[in-house]
Chains A and B, each alone.
Chain A
Amino acid sequence: MMKTKTRGLLLPFAGLLIIVFHLAPLYITLSIALKKMTDLSSRWTIPNYLYWQNFVDAINSSHMLRAFTNSFVITVGTSFLIIMIGAMAAYPLARVRTKTNKWILNLVLTVMMIPTLSIIVPLYKVMNDMHAINTFWGVILVLTTHGLPLAIFTYANFIRTIPRDLDEAATVDGCNGYSVFFRILLPQLKPVTATVLILAGLKVWNDFEFALYFLQKPQKQTITLTIANFFSEFSSNINAAAAAALLAVLPVTIMFIFLQKYFISGLSDGAVK
């Protein structure tokens, strides 16, 4: 009896320690962001006043709103393309087992393993030849390409769990392969599309490598680039820098709080099936 009682308290207590530990970096950032530059108290203590001016400074001095808009446009455009092209590609790969398709699945896997930085120099040259540097469409196409493998696998895994009888019934009714996909299968892909959207959207929102190389023009910069520039230019104003970091994290955190179920099932579905 004694044993179960202490155990009943032990686990929540261990849990609390884990929560404190993993949120500590964000807590420190928050405490810096809320302090005046002249306040040299420890970063572990939240001040007894709240200095919102840091957030205002961060927004004003770095065109943060423009960067937010840019990141948003790129994220929406890329996610849309990844979902369309990914779902379409996954369908024949999941349904038709041929040697070619097996070969193509391996090809997709290889693409997933190619590190961004190992092709970035030649890719820059290719993009330059296409006049795609400093354009949204250019960076959207590149990000789409690199987000596709995961989307294709996630969709293909899901389509395999949908009974084939359904396709066959539709074929009997006179649908051809394409209309089976667009009329019968596509509506069923809604739950997995939420997963793909979150995984792909998050990766694009947080992208730094591609933006660093392909969006150097200030007007086109994304939120991650803006943060990077902010830290190198205003490194003396660490309080505003902390505020800028928090602002960049805010949209994702809010989405996580409301759509937690999708974030978590997204990763585990993609992984375990």
Chain B
Amino acid sequence: MKVFRRKWTSGSHLYVMYLPALILFAVFVFYPLFEGVQISLTNWNGYSQHYQYVGFDNFKMLFTDHKVITAFQNTLVYGVGSTVIQNIWGLAYALLLNQVFFGRKWVRSAVYLPVLISGLVMGFIWYFIMQYDGGALNDIMLLFGMERVDWLADGSRGVKIILFATSMQFVGQAMIIYLAGLQTIPKTYYEAAEIDGTGAWRKFFNITLPLLMPAIIISVIYKLIGGLQLFDLIVALTGGGPGSSTHSFSTLINSLYFQSQNAGYATALGIVLFLFILCVTVVTHKLISRNEVEH
């Protein structure tokens, strides 16, 4: 048997099987990334044959551009904010749905359904709600005898609305991950705690939360990667406006390229976004995997 195992682990000929994937990564990810680094050092406008090498000017400019600074703050809010909100909210739903009651499957489906809808369509739907004239939310304001509000006219409120809209749309993902995680926790742990007379809160903090760590890590990383890239919902709901107050890095890159035709600068911002996501994800992973326990 040993002979075969050795033959297997040394199966270097099998490398051919991941060759197609590697070729695709090389052509459509790493080569563009490499090309991107070069473009970011130029003042290319996106279509002209002529452009000049400008060194690190684009990168230097990024740090003083107020649009970029706003977009950076917003990206943090969208990324970290929606990660925190969705994980707490999703865990609460999962704990609720982990109990047996009439209609819980319908609740699961209703919470999960919006996950399937494109962020773009969801953005337009939220526009129907937030519109000044005839918007669904203003109807409620009027019903309670309050003044109508132009919800999207103010940038900092716009950011909060986007944060809420994306969290509400994707909370179902975290819920499903936690539901699956809860089912892996052996019931005997709770029974043992019950015999010891442990209260509900202590059971949650001493049993549920530590044993849920693998699910928490996956869900948090998943949400961070998604949230820090938020794009289509913003395009549909505010288009980054008013002004550029609700832009994320992604939507700002898009508008720099399409509207300002500043491809070199847009690419420099893209590289910063990538490095930023890489750092945040790696640091978060290191931080929370420290709390992992074996069972």
Contacts and interface: CB of A to CB of B under 8 A. Distances in A.
A92 B35 CA distance: 30
Interface in B253-281: 253-254, 257, 263, 266-267, 269-271, 273-274, 277-278, 281
A119 B33 contact: yes
Interface stretch (B24-32, B58-66, B149-157): B24-32
B116 interface: yes
Contacts of A253: 113, 116
Contacts of A264: 108, 112, 176
Given A119-B33, A227-B121, A141 B28 contact: yes
B14 interface: yes
Interface in B151-201: 168, 173, 176-177, 179-181, 184
B104 interface: yes
A272 B4 CA distance: 32
A268 B139 contact: no
B177 A272 contact: yes
B207 interface: no
A252 B116 contact: yes
A11 B104 CA distance: 9
Q: How large is the interface on B (under 10, 10 to 19, 20 to 34, 35 or more residues)?
A: 35 or more
A268 B178 CA distance: 8
B218 A272 contact: yes
B216 to A, nearest CB: 11
Contacts of A88: 17-18, 20-21
B68 interface: no
A139 to B, nearest CB: 11
Contact of A168 (B4, B32, B99, B214): B4
A171 B18 CA distance: 21
Interface stretch (B80-88, B127-135, B287-295): B127-135
Contacts of A178: 14, 17
A15 B104 contact: yes
B119 interface: yes
Contact of A125 (B39, B114, B266): B39
A193 to B, nearest CB: 16
B177 A267 contact: yes
Given A22-B168, A25-B126, A264-B108, A117 B273 contact: yes
Nearest to A172: B4
A209 B232 contact: yes
Nearest to B24: A145
Nearest to A238: B128
Given A113-B278, A227-B120, A272-B184, A209 B18 contact: no
A100 B12 CA distance: 10
Given A12-B101, A86-B21, A121-B46, A96 B129 contact: no
Interface string A36-80: 000010111000000000000000000000000000000000000
Contacts of B8: 95-96, 164, 167-168, 171
B180 A268 contact: yes
A272 B215 contact: yes
A97 interface: yes
Interface residues of A, number: 93
B14 A141 contact: no
Nearest to A20: B110
B102 interface: yes
B176 A267 contact: yes
B106 interface: yes
B5 interface: yes
A125 B4 CA distance: 48
B29 A117 contact: no
B202 interface: no
B222 A231 contact: no
A40 B131 CA distance: 14
A269 B22 CA distance: 25
A164 B47 CA distance: 53
Given A15-B103, A18-B110, A122-B32, A107 B25 contact: yes
Contacts of B181: 272
Contacts of B180: 268-269, 271-272
B108 A227 contact: no
Given A25-B114, A113-B277, A271-B219, A248 B9 contact: no
A194 interface: no
A112 to B, nearest CB: 7
The 7 A-B pairs with the shortest beta carbon distances in the complex, nearest first, are A118-B270, A268-B180, A206-B118, A89-B18, A11-B101, A92-B14, A122-B36
13 contacts: A11-B104, A12-B101, A22-B113, A22-B168, A26-B113, A92-B11, A93-B18, A100-B15, A124-B46, A171-B8, A208-B232, A224-B232, A272-B177
